[in-house]
């Protein structure tokens, strides 16, 4: 059964205590009635351009998957302990109309334009042609900015097409009239919690820009940000589809072993840069890894009797820093999207950079096979899957956790229940997922097993991972360590 996950360009921000993101898969698929889905924030696919094939549609909203990020109190505490980007020396275009707020009755309303606003629009050198129009400054009942193609924001950013819409707001493809270039603009809802979440992402992105001004460590570039009448707006470089969306559009045909190698290598390199600078991403997943260019060749696979797409360029960028957390900041109890969540997070034992390494192990598996390693929405079932695939959970962790999933140090799980049968029938020891006995495949699964070590302090670090023999075949022209050696980063 095909998966129902929809995400192209994804710059999300934390929303409610339970996000949803459910996928139905070719395997590990069934319906779950124990939890109630809520919309997840996302940044839509580039449907409008031939280069960015794929669609955004409402499918993503209709099929969802859980993603908890901690209690609202924890998020408020985290926000209060993080520097506001509005105090930064790098502040850009902080709009004076920040005081406009959407009324609590959620009825549609219109922001009145002052005479000075109208004069600015009339005098703008970019809005005098017939293809541009002055914005109406109106919000809908959910707080989204209402605009039309051709509207120009701040006399500079001309909206050409909407790329996607999510819980957080909208993403538009825009023309920067000042620099004469096309970029992506994330327009956050005029709602306080989303506005504050956007500020957190801006903080992380500004710090990354300071540490890596040339963008050599494969993190997405934030080009600008501003507050537009209560809507936080963030401009990013325009990229291609996510590695997930490309996989979905390709009928979940896995990437080749060489493609998996290069994508995984870049992911380890980018996240290692974050870890070296005392930052944990906390939301790594295939939707948050974007191809720089998702154009492809198509060829007929005689064995499968259908056309298969082959990505031309496997260069990627890491996105979505809305949940990134520095070591000195408050750490929410629950982080990461369910399917990529480390055991120490589920068991509420505290987390740090190793939780990202676990997520990367799950992602590499998914790129290799086209299916999710842990397809579940329930903590106890998730732990049962881990034990089925990876062996018994660490006794130390089982005894230390204050959660109720263990009894006398053993997982409290009924193998004979319907859930138990599901886990038994759909999960198997990790090495049995290996498609070939070739050395490349063996090394790949060795790396995955090291990343999926239960104990965080025994889990491989990304500095060690990037030197793993699996990456020895990365061509010299694609290697990134030379830049790493020549440019020191703070530690």
Write the DSSP string, 201-219.
Answer: HHHHHHHHHHH-TT-TT-B
Look at residues 377, 331, 381, 351 and name the one whose alpha carbon lies nearest to residue 71: 331
Look at residues 329, 423, 407 and name the one whose alpha carbon lies nearest to residue 373: 423
The backbone torsions φ and ψ at residue 342, rounded to the nearest 5 degrees and listed phi first, read: -75, 155
Give the span between the Cα atoms of 176 and 346, in whole angstroms: 44
Q: What share of the chain is helix, strand, coil (3-state, %, to 5)?
A: 35, 15, 50
DSSP run (H or E) holding 405: none
Give the span between the Cα atoms of 449 and 144, in whole angstroms: 44
Look at residues 149, 147, 145, 148 and name the one whose alpha carbon lies nearest to residue 160: 149
DSSP run (H or E) holding 356: helix 354-369
Look at residues 72, 40, 37, 43 and name the one whose alpha carbon lies nearest to residue 56: 43
Place of tokens 């701040």: 154
DSSP run (H or E) holding 425: helix 418-426
3 state DSSP class of 235: strand
Catalytic option among 212, 283, 320, 356: 283
Are the C-beta atoms of residues 397 and 347 closer than 8 Å to each other? yes
Give the span between the Cα atoms of 417 and 376, in whole angstroms: 15
Look up residue 161 and give its two tokens.
């097409």
DSSP 374: S
Write the DSSP string, 244-282.
Answer: HHHHHHTTTPPPPHHHHHHHHHHHHHHHHHHHHTTEE--
Are the C-beta atoms of residues 309 and 295 closer than 8 Å to each other? no
Question: Catalytic site residue 320?
Answer: no
Q: How many CA atoms lie within 13 A of 343 on its CB side?
A: 29
Residue 72: partners with Cβ closer than 8 Å, 6 or more residues away: 16, 17
Catalytic residue annotation: 283
């Amino acid at each position: 059964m095909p998966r129902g996950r929809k995400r192209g360009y994804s710059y999300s921000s934390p929303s409610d205590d339970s996000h949803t993101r459910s996928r139905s898969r070719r395997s590990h698929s069934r319906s779950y009635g124990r939890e109630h889905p809520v919309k997840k924030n996302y940044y839509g696919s580039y449907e409008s351009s031939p280069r960015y094939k794929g669609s955004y549609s409402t499918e993503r909203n209709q099929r969802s998957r859980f993603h908890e990020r901690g209690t609202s109190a924890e998020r408020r505490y985290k926000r209060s302990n993080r520097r506001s980007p509005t105090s930064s020396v790098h502040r850009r275009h902080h709009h004076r109309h920040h005081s406009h707020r959407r009324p609590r009755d959620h009825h549609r309303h219109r922001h009145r334009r002052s005479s000075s606003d109208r004069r600015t629009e009339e005098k703008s050198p970019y809005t005098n042609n017939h293809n541009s129009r002055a914005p109406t400054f109106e919000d809908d009942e959910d707080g989204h900015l209402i605009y039309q193609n051709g509207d120009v924001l701040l006399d500079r950013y001309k909206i050409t097409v909407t790329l996607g819409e999510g819980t957080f707001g909208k993403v538009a493809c825009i023309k920067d009239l000042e620099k004469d270039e096309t970029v992506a603009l994330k327009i956050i809802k005029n709602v306080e919690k989303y506005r504050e979440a956007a500020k957190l992402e801006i903080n992380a992105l500004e710090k990354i820009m300071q540490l890596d001004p040339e963008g050599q460590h494969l993190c997405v570039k934030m080009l600008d940000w501003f507050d537009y009448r209560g809507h936080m707006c963030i401009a990013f470089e325009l990229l291609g589809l996510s590695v997930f969306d490309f996989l979905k559009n390709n009928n979940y045909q896995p990437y080749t072993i060489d493609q998996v190698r290069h994508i995984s290598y870049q992911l380890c390199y980018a996240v290692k840069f974050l870890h070296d600078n005392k930052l944990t991403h906390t939301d790594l997943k295939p939707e948050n890894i974007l191809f720089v260019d998702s154009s492809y060749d198509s060829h007929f696979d005689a064995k499968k009797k259908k056309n298969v797409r082959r990505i031309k360029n496997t260069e990627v960028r890491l996105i979505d820093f809305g949940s990134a957390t520095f070591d000195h900041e408050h750490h929410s109890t629950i982080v990461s999207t369910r399917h990529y969540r480390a055991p120490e997070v589920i068991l509420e034992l505290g987390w740090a950079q190793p939780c990202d390494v676990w997520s990367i192990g799950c992602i590499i598996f998914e790129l290799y096979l086209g299916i999710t390693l842990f397809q579940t929405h329930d903590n106890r079932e998730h732990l049962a899957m881990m034990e089925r695939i990876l062996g018994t959970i660490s006794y130390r962790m089982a005894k230390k956790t204050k959660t109720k999933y263990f009894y006398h140090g053993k997982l409290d799980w009924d193998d004979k229940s319907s859930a138990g049968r599901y886990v038994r029938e759909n999960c198997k020891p990790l090495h049995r997922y290996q498609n070939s006995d070739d050395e490349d495949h063996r090394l790949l699964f060795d790396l995955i097993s090291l990343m999926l070590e239960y104990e965080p302090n025994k889990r491989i670090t990304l500095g060690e991972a990037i030197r793993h023999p699996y990456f020895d075949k990365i061509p010299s022209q694609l290697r990134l360590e030379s830049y790493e050696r020549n440019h020191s980063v703070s530690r």
